[in-house]
Amino acid sequence: MKKSGESKIFLIIFVAIIILFIAFVLAADPDIIDSPGTKVGNSTNSTVTNSQNTTITTNSTNTNVTTSNNTQIINSNNTKIQDSNQTVITNSTNSTVIGSNETAIDNSKNTNVEDSKNTTIGNSQNTTVISSNKTSVDNSTNIRIVNSTNTTIINSTNIQITNSTNITVTNSTNITINNQNNKNVINKINLRIDKNCKEFIRGDTNADGIVDMSDGVRIFEYLYTNPSVSLNKEAADVNSDGKIDIADGPFLLNYLFGRGSAPKAPFPNKGCP
């Protein structure tokens, strides 16, 4: 009877050790598949696949989520989400989102979003968005947007936009827009637009870098006495009506004599229209 009791105790201890070992393995490196609801916290090297609702929170690192309906990431590092319907990232670093329908990023660093239909970025740093249908950026720095449509940027700095369309920038600084269409820039500072245009100063018809009376004379000369005279035709459209005619010379002279409004941009510095 004594040996039988000792055997039972040994068996209980053995089973307890196995259970603790399995729990340790699952906590350190869990793989979760086909789960309706998943919460991962204080874990490393986790993989979640085909989960309905996934929450990754509190000091989790190296987490991969694939085909999740709703994914929320809080205070986590090195997280990759692919083919998630709705993704929310808060206070996290080094997050990658691919193929998400709705992506919201707040107060996070080093986030990459690719092939997302709607991306919202707030209070974040070092974010790259590629091929997003609609992107909104507010109060963020170091944002790179590539091959996207319908981009709105507010109160942000250090923004680079490439091959994108329908761009609205408000109260933002250090914006670089390359090869864009349909831009609408309001209250910008240090904006550089590059769409392979030749920069000029509107009204500087002889391209000497100064807008003065000689530029008005050059317009009259081109129109009435010497059509072959050297003329910067973009700059000669002083009133910005899309053509060079008798109205441009008087418009410029009225401005120079203080009787009229200034030419529209690019003026008084060089730039693109």
**pLDDT digit string, tens, across residues 91-126:** 888 888 888 888 888 888 888 888 888 888 888 888
**pLDDT digit string, tens, across residues 74-87:** 888 888 888 878 88
Separation in Å, CA 118 to CA 72, 87, 94, 102: 16, 10, 20, 5
What pLDDT was estimated at residue 27?
46
What pLDDT was estimated at residue 115?
85
pTM for the whole structure: 0.57
pLDDT-derived band at 11 (thresholds 50, 70, 90) equals low
C-alpha span between 235 and 267 (Å, rounded): 10
Q: Do residues 145 and 158 lie in contact, with contact meaning Cβ atoms separated by under 8 Å?
A: no
**pLDDT digit string, tens, across residues 185-204:** 656 555 555 555 677 899 99
Burial class for 2, CB neighbours closer than 10 Å (0-12, 13-18, 19+)? exposed
If you ran DSSP here, which 8-state letter would residue 271 be given? B
What pLDDT was estimated at residue 25?
44
**pLDDT digit string, tens, across residues 17-72:** 555 544 444 444 445 454 555 666 666 777 777 767 777 766 677 777 777 778 78
Q: What is the CATH topology of the domain spanning 30-194?
A: Pectate Lyase C-like (2.160.20)
Q: What dotted CATH number matches 197-273?
A: 1.10.1330.10
Q: Do residues 227 and 216 lie in contact, with contact meaning Cβ atoms separated by under 8 Å?
A: no
C-alpha span between 49 and 181 (Å, rounded): 39
Q: By percentage, how much of the chain surpasses pLDDT 90?
A: 21
What pLDDT was estimated at residue 229?
93
Mean pLDDT for 1-28 is: 53
On the question of pLDDT at 221 being above 90, the answer is: yes
On the question of pLDDT at 219 being above 90, the answer is: yes
More confident residue, 159 or 233: 233
What pLDDT was estimated at residue 49?
75
pLDDT-derived band at 10 (thresholds 50, 70, 90) equals low
Mean pLDDT for 254-265 is: 90
More confident residue, 11 or 100: 100
Domain ranges of the chain: 30-194, 197-273
What pLDDT was estimated at residue 26?
45
What pLDDT was estimated at residue 14?
53
CA dihedral of 220, 225, 228, 234, whole degrees rounded to 10: 10
What pLDDT was estimated at residue 210?
93
More confident residue, 12 or 115: 115
C-alpha span between 66 and 261 (Å, rounded): 59
What pLDDT was estimated at residue 246?
93
What pLDDT was estimated at residue 63?
77
DSSP for 193-250? Answer: EESSPPPB-TT-TT-SS--SHHHHHHHHIIIII-TTS---HHHH-TT-SSS-STTHHH
